[in-house]
Structure 1
């Protein structure tokens, strides 16, 4: 990783070489890996965009005119634009480079994220950002409103308890089956874990001290999308969920290192960590075996399904959030709002 990257602190003449290296190391260790990867992708994109748009490299600080052009180029659908439209030509260059998917107007969240990264690059260099000027800021607000669209769910359907049972029923007796059962049931019962959270688990993150006496397994996540390192509360698995995880640990002979690993065609457990895409393939495979379309749900369906089931069962949203680790009540409330009003337990208060 280059120490000259804009998402790392700029060199300061007031610091010694050792202190500058320590500051850079602090930024790397203190920034989530997913954020660093997003910074790298966004830096690649805005650099390529400016080269194609102006045939110039990025400037620090960047000009307001460039910031405004960036917003304008990403605030409209370019599919109907004439072939000689400069913004369309730039977009076609980015598509050819694999940096842009289509000429359609990007989602407001995508534009917001790239601008947020560009702002962060300026902060790292102790520079004022052009995106803070009144005109640019207003244009950004108008672009967000003009391109507003209904939110699309990350999973076509939530994996509620009945769907989860169908998936678990396809897990028979092989090592792969034991692993998939443990992944599905942990991903659901621990509060709806994200793919990266499941694959990031280590054997050392699991405590079996209370399994023999209480059938409890405690899990410590290093960090999540909404919690910082060392600030994530321990999560618990009970009963069937705890048993499924312990069974996988025994069958897979997991004694250290990654908790979930690939299993070969010969049903041999490998040493390396299972990738997040592996979770996607597992969900798709189990849906197919259960007689459901492969696109019926994605891994995020475990998360949405947990909260949806909590709403169906009448669990208070605060208790569900203690496991899902949602930071925003409004975000978690969306899953509760999606439950059919006829299924809401509050409709039965009169009896």
Structure 2
């Protein structure tokens, strides 16, 4: 059995082929997921309403692609592959549009329990084995609630793209999801085991020598921390034209123009400022690396020469991990998100107003940013000394 999702208008998105009979899937680069999710005629699901023309369908597909962050599109890709494979393994059938409530309920039940000790004849175990064979599932353990939430969110998004009601909005299915979330509730693991506070950052920066690689890594670490705790995808996505040096010679200030972030829309992201040592490190990297256009941060060859292509977000991850370990901290001590959490933690330690810190971190939620301040402020709470 083969399920083919064809691309329509965007050359960036290619064909996905899932072969359930062979227990494997093949993927050429990225799938045209938005196109697949939207190409079925709307008239087939909305009686009496005229379907979109091919030109309108192409335009709408292109609009979804351009208006959706790249990371979200990649998540859609992974989730569509997983959902299609699961439906084939559990029901020997392709996804339906709209999907049935019974299928949605079964999906929640199958992914809300540990199958390690399940009966060998359990259908959920059989489906899980098929997914493990295809490399889409790691083990029989209960998936993380956040993973299940994301896949359900993607499934619902695919229904919205077709202008269809989602089965996950049915009362019984919603109640089952709520119960499953509560049953699997556990403390949320931080994205970084430890925040990279100023003291930690100084130790990490000390590992950066005067080679081109060292200059690059120092600029990455300082920009990532001092500009508000940038995400690794934001650092990797910076281009030379996003860095404005017009005020550097006079005031020692560098302006950073992020196109968009996880919490801001394209063209509506406020300018960020880099000052002091961080600005110096970035300006020195631009000069010594001869970065006149193109990607700001790039891989470095063994001969200490920068390549033309950009560093990937995973490359940023590897750099942070390597430098943290070289600084003498245990393996896994901190990830790139430690730059973000460390910036906010240090702001709280230094008594900076949370609104000022959020102006740089671009947190959309005050409650989320407040968590870092709460961890610091509780140690200064007089009520913690009542027993002396």
Q: Give 1:112's match in structure 2, choosing from 146, 149, 166.
A: 149
**Alpha-carbon distance in 2 for matches of 1:203, 1:334:** 34
Equivalent pairs counted in the alignment come to 347
- 1:180-259 mapped onto 2 (5 Å cutoff): 180-259=217-296
**Alpha-carbon distance in 1 for matches of 2:350, 2:300:** 36
Q: Which residue does 2:168 correspond to in 1? A: 131
**Alpha-carbon distance in 1 for matches of 2:280, 2:381:** 31
Q: Give 1:154's match in structure 2, choosing from 191, 210, 232.
A: 191
Q: Give 2:7's match in structure 1, choosing from 2, 9, 17.
A: 2
Task: Determine if the alignment matches structure 1 residue 121 to structure 2 residue 126.
Answer: no
- Which blocks of at least 5 consecutive residues in structure 1 are unaligned? none
Q: Which residue does 2:107 correspond to in 1? A: 70
Q: Which residue does 2:214 correspond to in 1? A: 177
Q: Which residue does 2:138 correspond to in 1? A: 101
Q: Which residue does 2:19 correspond to in 1? A: none
Shift of 1:237: 0.2
Q: Which residue does 2:374 correspond to in 1? A: 337
SS in 1 for 2:376: coil
Shift of 1:69: 0.3
SS in 2 for 1:113: helix
The CA RMSD over aligned residues, in Å, is 1.8
SS in 2 for 1:218: strand
Q: Identify the range of structure 1 (336-345 vs 106-115) with the bigger mean alpha-carbon deviation.
A: 336-345
**Alpha-carbon distance in 1 for matches of 2:113, 2:65:** 35
**Alpha-carbon distance in 1 for matches of 2:346, 2:171:** 45
Q: Which residue does 1:270 correspond to in 2? A: 307
SS in 1 for 2:310: coil
Task: Determine if the alignment matches structure 1 residue 32 to structure 2 residue 37.
Answer: no
**Alpha-carbon distance in 2 for matches of 1:101, 1:238:** 45
What is the CA deviation profile of residues 216-252 of structure 1, one whole-angstrom value per residue up to 9, with x for unaligned ones?
Answer: 0000101111111011100000011111000000010
What is the CA deviation profile of residues 237-276 of structure 1, one whole-angstrom value per residue up to 9, with x for unaligned ones?
Answer: 0011111000000010000000000001110111100011
Shift of 1:188: 0.2
Q: Identify the range of structure 1 (100-109 vs 332-341) with the bigger mean alpha-carbon deviation.
A: 332-341
Shift of 1:14: 4.7
8 Å contact 1:45–1:99 — kept in the other structure? yes
TM-score by length of 2: 0.86
Shift of 1:10: 4.5
**Alpha-carbon distance in 1 for matches of 2:228, 2:100:** 45
Q: Which residue does 2:319 correspond to in 1? A: 282
**Alpha-carbon distance in 2 for matches of 1:314, 1:64:** 51
SS in 2 for 1:21: helix
What is the CA deviation profile of residues 123-173 of structure 1, one whole-angstrom value per residue up to 9, with x for unaligned ones?
Answer: 111111111111111111111111111100111111000000011111121
TM-score by length of 1: 0.95
8 Å contact 1:42–1:114 — kept in the other structure? yes
8 Å contact 2:229–2:339 — kept in the other structure? yes
What is the CA deviation profile of residues 58-107 of structure 1, one whole-angstrom value per residue up to 9, with x for unaligned ones?
Answer: 11111111011001001111112122211112112111211112211112
Shift of 1:24: 1.5
Q: Identify the range of structure 1 (251-260 vs 11-20) with the bigger mean alpha-carbon deviation.
A: 11-20
8 Å contact 2:7–2:36 — kept in the other structure? no
SS in 1 for 2:199: helix
**Alpha-carbon distance in 2 for matches of 1:66, 1:266:** 56
SS in 2 for 1:226: coil
